[in-house]
Amino acid sequence: MKARTNYAPKRFTGYAPIPFAAIADIPRLSSGAACTQLVYVILGLSLGRPVEKNTPFHESTLPTHVSDLADLCGCDERTVQRELGGLVARGVVTMEKSTKGAYLLTPLFRSWASLSSYKPGPVAEPEPDEDETEEPKKAAITRLTEKPVAVRAGNTSRKIKIDCGVSEIYCRTNIDLHFEAVVQDGSLLVSLIGHQEGLAGGQARSNSFKDLTSGTRQTRRVEQQVSHPRAAEVAGLFDPFLAKYGARLLSGDYKFFLQSCQSVADVPNDYLVKRVIDRAARPIKSPGAAAAICADIARDWEAQKRLPAAKRDPKNLTREDIDALIAEERAAKRRRA
């Protein structure tokens, strides 16, 4: 309706040719503000439809949904249904089913002068549309795997082609775990992570005592978590940066996770956090890169401990100091060799 209107010309476009007599009758035939607005909207959608020059105006609307009438009237669909039922019962308009959920509405303005004025009275609750009573369709199931796919701890499974649209994802399991999922280059990557207690060195819990005692491969895999005092600390530092780039999480890679924890075993937390955040200015895209960063941090920390006391404070330490100590250490190794 807005697109058909142009206010610029002297005779602007988009008007609805409503007869003066109809305007005079609408207030007395309406039950209230919503009903009045609805009658004007129906007149606009019927008489206001575009026609060729010197041809009669349309007196019926195109197929119209109740939801569209509710939007144009600024009220809810139930109110529109109720007011439509009253207008039809009083002979103000006719309503003919067109397509599913849509109606052809015809304002009978030529006979409005002969109708009695509106009188308040009980109004029957409108019948629900077919859309509301239709039974929900059964969800279609597309099986992606004929049998469970084995994945060893720290590894990635083979890729499985998906020939259907996916709108959501969820995980079903018979043991306690966490999972994370990212979409990268058209592939959905799901990372299964043992319970957080397992990440911090505890044993992964199970929802069933039978699961713990049966010795199944699935239970053993989840129990193969890094048992290290700083496991949770290291995972909490690196996993958010890896997840940002859709990489496998460090906590899900046993080999590199263990290497990282062992490397930073005696590195102070504040020094470790600062170095990781500084290094994260460049992308960290694999657990192997995280392990290499931990090794570098540990090496730099060992070098810093050999500095004079005045320079051990990270605020006084410069990159040149560290590089000089590393070069000195490498030269000593070559001499010993």
Per-residue pLDDT for 200 more than 50? no
Q: What is the mean pLDDT of residues 70-87?
A: 89
Express each pLDDT in 201-237 by its tens digit.
333 333 333 333 344 444 334 345 678 888 888 988 8
270 compared with 146, residue with greater pLDDT: 270
Higher pLDDT, 171 or 282: 282
Residue 138's pLDDT is: 62
Give CA–CA dist 127/307, Å, rounded. Answer: 85
pLDDT of res. 243: 84
Short-list 55, 124, 113, CA closest to 89? 124
pLDDT confidence of residue 184: 67
Domains of the chain: 20-121 (1.10.10.10), 177-305 (no CATH)
Residue bearing the bigger pLDDT, 108 or 184: 108
pTM: 0.40
Within the chain, where are the H helices? 20-29, 33-46, 66-73, 77-89, 130-133, 196-199, 209-213, 217-223, 231-244, 254-263, 269-279, 287-305, 319-336
| Residue 30 pLDDT greater than 90, yes or no | no
| pLDDT over threshold 70, residue 194 | no
**Nearest partner of 234 among 276, 194, 283, judged by Cα:** 276
**What does the pLDDT average to over 62-67?**
92
Residue 105 has pLDDT above 90, yes or no: yes
User: Reduced to 3 DSSP states, what percent helix, strand and coil does the chain have, rounded to the nearest 5?
Assistant: 45, 10, 45
In this structure, what are the phi and psi dihedrals at residue 313, rounded to the nearest 5 degrees? -65, 125
Q: Tell me, what's the pLDDT at 111?
A: 92
pLDDT in tens, 115-137: 999 888 766 666 666 555 555 55
pLDDT of the residue at 50:
85
pLDDT of residue 202: 37
Contacts 24+ apart (CB under 8 A), 150-157: 150/217, 151/192, 152/221, 153/221, 153/224, 153/254, 154/252, 154/253, 154/254, 154/255, 154/256, 154/257, 156/189, 156/248
The CA distances from residue 144 to 152, 156, 161, 182, 206, in Å, are 20, 17, 8, 18, 26
Rounded to an integer, the average pLDDT of 85-95 is 91
How distant is the alpha carbon of residue 254 from its chain centre?
Answer: 31
Q: How many Cβ atoms sit within 10 Å of the Cβ of residue 228?
A: 19
In the predicted model, what is the mean pLDDT of residues 256-260? 90
pLDDT reported for residue 103: 92
Give the mean pLDDT of 141-147: 72
CB 169 within 8 A of CB 148: no
Per-residue pLDDT tens over the stretch 276-310: 988 888 888 898 999 999 999 998 888 777 766 54
Average pLDDT taken over every residue of the chain: 77
Of residues 65 and 101, the one with the higher pLDDT is 65
pLDDT for the residue numbered 220 = 38
